[in-house]
Amino acid sequence: MAQTTSADMIVPEVWGDMAQAEFIGRVRVAGSAAVIEDNTLEGAPGDTIHFPKWGALSDLDDLTEGTPMTPAKMSTSDATATIREAGKAVEITDTAKLTSLGDPEAEARRQFGILAARKVDAALIAQAQADETAQGGGNPYKFTASSAKFTWLDAMVPAIGQFGDEWEPSDFAGLYLNSAQLGDALADSQFVDAAKLGNGPSAAVSGSIGRIGGVPVYITNRIAAGTFLLMKTGALGLLYKRRPLVESDRDILARSTVVTTTLHYAVKRLDDKAVCVGTLATSGA
C-alpha cells in the first residue's frame, strides 16, 4: 500500500520571531545622581570647555588688639574638558531589507540608542578615576584596601575615612562595584538587600541592589574587578555639544540605505573631593 509521507512533500522552513540583540552590562553612572547633565555647549563655538573655580581662603586669623590685619590674596584656577565625538554607521541594501526577517534599520536605530548610553557611561566611569592634572584639575581620593575581598571593615570604612568630616550618607550618589565583588557585598553583614528596604526614605534607588552604610550599591563591569568607586551626588559633569543624533541617507546607485548615529559630549570630574577610588588588595598579598 502506497503511503504519502512528509518526505514526499515540500515542507517549508518555519522561523520564530527575530530576537533582539542583547548587550552585556547596564548603564549605571550616566543618568544617576552622581552626574550633572548640561546642554549649554549646544550651539556654542569651540571644542574645549573651561571650568573656572575660586580658590578657598584659609581659616580666620587670630587678631591682636591694635594690630592691623594682613589681607589675604584671592585666587582662581581653571580646569578644562575637551569635546569628544562618537558614532556608528550601518549600510543596508534594499535586497537585504526586502528578503530578510525583521527590520534591520529599526533594529540598528534601537541599538544605536543603547550604544550611545553605554559609551557615555564608560566615559564617565573612566573620568571619575582619571588624573586631571594636565587639564588643571587633580586626582580623586585613592587608597588600597587591606583585603582582597570587599567588606565593610576592610574596604568601605577606609573609603568613608577619605572624606573625613564630609561624610554624610545622604550626600552620596552610590557605591559602584564590579560583579566580581557582588558576592562579597551580598555576604557582608552591613549590606541591606533592596527587597528589604520598603518605600521609606532609605528605599532602594532604581538600578541599585541595596544599600551599605546608607549608600546605594550598583554593579557595573565597566569598573575593573578589584576596583570600586564611592561618589557624591553631582561629582561628575556630562556636557552635551549635541545629543545623540540618528540620520539616514539613500545611495541610489548602490540601492542601499546608510544609517548613522553621532554624539558630541564632554565629561568632567567636577569635584576631586567627591570621588574615592578604592583598590582591593591582591589575592594572597
Give residue 253's pLDDT: 95
- Reported residue count of the chain is 285
In this prediction, residue 47 has a pLDDT band, given cuts at 50, 70 and 90, of confident
Give the confidence band of 78 by pLDDT, cuts at 50, 70, 90: confident
- Asked if residues 266 and 241 have their Cβ atoms less than 8 Å apart, the reply is yes
**Which burial class, exposed, middle or buried, applies to 55 when counting CB atoms under 10 A from its CB (0-12, 13-18, 19+)?**
exposed
CA dist 246 and 110 (Å) reads 10
Q: What 3-state DSSP class applies to 81?
A: strand
Give the least confident one: 6-15, 182-191, 232-241: 6-15
In order of start, what are the domains of the chain with their CATH numbers? 140-235+270-279 (3.30.2320)
Residues 95-138: tens digit of each pLDDT: 988 888 888 898 999 999 889 999 999 999 999 999 988 888 88
Q: How confident is the model at residue 55 (pLDDT cuts 50, 70, 90)?
A: confident
Average confidence (pLDDT) over 182-205: 79
Residue 18 CB partners (closer than 8 Å, separation 6+): 101, 102, 107
Asked whether the beta carbons of 34 and 173 are under 8 A apart, the reply is yes
User: What grid cell was written down for 203?
Assistant: 528605599
CA–CA separation, 58 and 27 (whole Å): 40
pLDDT-based confidence at residue 225 (cuts at 50, 70, 90): very high
Q: What is the pLDDT of residues 145-187, one digit of tens each?
A: 999 999 999 999 999 999 998 888 899 999 999 999 999 999 9
Residue 144 has pLDDT above 90, yes or no: yes
Q: What pLDDT, on the 0 to 100 scale, is given for residue 14?
A: 52
Q: Which DSSP string corresponds to 183-251?
A: HHHHHSTTEEEGGGSTTSTTPPPTT--EEETTEEEEE-TTSPTTEEEEEETT-EEEEEEEEEEEEEEEE
On average, the pLDDT of the chain sits at 85
Residue 196 has pLDDT above 60, yes or no: yes
Mean pLDDT across 51-73:
86
In what helix (H) or strand (E) does residue 184 lie, and over which residues does it extend? helix 182-187
Please give the pLDDT value at position 139: 93
- Average pLDDT of span 185-212: 79
Single-letter amino acid code for the residue at 29: V
Q: Residue 33 has what pLDDT?
A: 87
pLDDT of residue 198: 67
DSSP 159: H
Can you tell me the mean pLDDT for 205-232? 90
